[in-house]
Amino acid sequence: MNIVPNRIKPPKPTQDLEKAKRDLDEFGICLIDRALGTEQLTRLRNRLYAAADDDVRLKRPSSSSGGDHDSNNQRIWGLLNRGQEFVDLVEDPRSIELLKYLLEWPFLLSSISANIAGPGHDGMVIHADQLFVPEPWPARPQGANCFWLVDDFTADNGATHVAVGSHRLNRMPKDDAEAESYFVPLEASAGTMCVMEGRIWHRTGCNVTANERRAGIFAWNVRKIYRTQENWFLSLNPLVRQGASEDLLWMLGYRLDTFFGHVNGYDPI
């Protein structure tokens, strides 16, 4: 039986974290209004587009393991090493509070990457971020994406297509057609922060504009029992670790959690 109506609209952006938690329960997604101030957003945007240009020049990997469908989408990996602006996002106390609510503490930062959908982009493959969890899925989400809108997201420029409420079905879609019958574009202003739990079906939308790029930064987080997408112990610049907050060190797996994270039996501190 279909217990979730099709095409539910996303909740309205709010600055009230308790309301945001209720939105996560009901819709599987919440939006934090004007999470980034004008100056922070400008610095972040400049830094991101500069990193994107560097990746093109240096021919670095620019897709997500074949999931991006076409070359009009650019993925920028390893953002923690690309500027303090990105570290500030994952250390944001609002993000940490909402992720703790969904995933319990300590959770792990699995990866942080940007997705820039360019004109002509034809949409990402349809998925739920916790697609690697065997079904039947546990009753609570196993991961959650905290993402930041660097540009306005519009239906035309590739706003994420989201099956709002699909967390209540607690499974992968049967096929693309089922997911598409639920999709609505997540339209919101640059500077909005969204948290979307790992069971929500979604994909990057199609960019049908002539010349607009749509950038979002996606910090994917998992419960502590899962392997992270990024191998932080090999990839993280030591300068970032040395400057990291205590919370971020936990989120990267550098702290001893009962019996996870020993170094030869010792606490690494």
**Residues in contact with ligand AKG by the rule CB under 6 A:** 115, 124, 129, 160, 202-204, 216, 218
Residue 112 or 244 having the CB closest to ligand AKG: 112
d(CA 247, CA 55): 29
For the CB of residue 204, give the shortest distance to ligand AKG in the complex, in Å.
Answer: 3
Instruction: Give min distance, CB of 197 to ligand AKG, in A.
Output: 13
Nearest distance in Å: CB 170, ligand AKG: 19
Given the complex with ligand AKG, which of 221 and 244 has the nearer CB atom? 221
CB of 202 to ligand AKG, least distance (A): 5
- Enumerate the β-bridge partners of residue 206: 122
Which residue has tokens 């996560």? 24
**Cα(218)–Cα(129) distance, rounded to whole angstroms?**
11
Query: 82 vs 203, which CB is nearer to ligand AKG?
Result: 203
Q: CB nearer to ligand AKG: give 118 or 216.
A: 216
Looking at residue 126, its amino acid is I
Write the DSSP string, 56-103. HHTT---SSTTTT-STTEEEE--GGGG-HHHHHHHT-HHHHHHHHHHH
Shortest reach from residue 257's CB to ligand AKG, in Å? 26
Q: What share of the chain is helix, strand, coil (3-state, %, to 5)?
A: 30, 25, 50
Nearer to ligand AKG, 103 or 244 (CB): 103
Q: What is the C-alpha separation between 12 and 82, in angstroms, rounded? A: 32
Write b or e for each residue in 186-215: b if 16 or more Cβ atoms lie within 10 A of its Cβ, otherwise e.
Answer: bbbbbbbbbbbbbbbbbbbbbbebeebbbb
Question: Cβ of residue 255: shortest distance to ligand AKG, in angstroms?
Answer: 27
CB-wise, 160 or 244, nearer to ligand AKG? Answer: 160
**Rounded distance, CA 43 to CA 48, Å?**
9
Packing angle, helices 17-27 and 93-103, rounded to 10: 40
Contacts of 126 (CB under 8 A, 6+ apart): 173, 176, 179, 180, 201, 202, 203
> Taking the complex as a whole, how short is the minimal distance between the CB of residue 29 and ligand AKG, in angstroms?
12
By C-beta, is 8 or 117 nearer to ligand AKG? 117
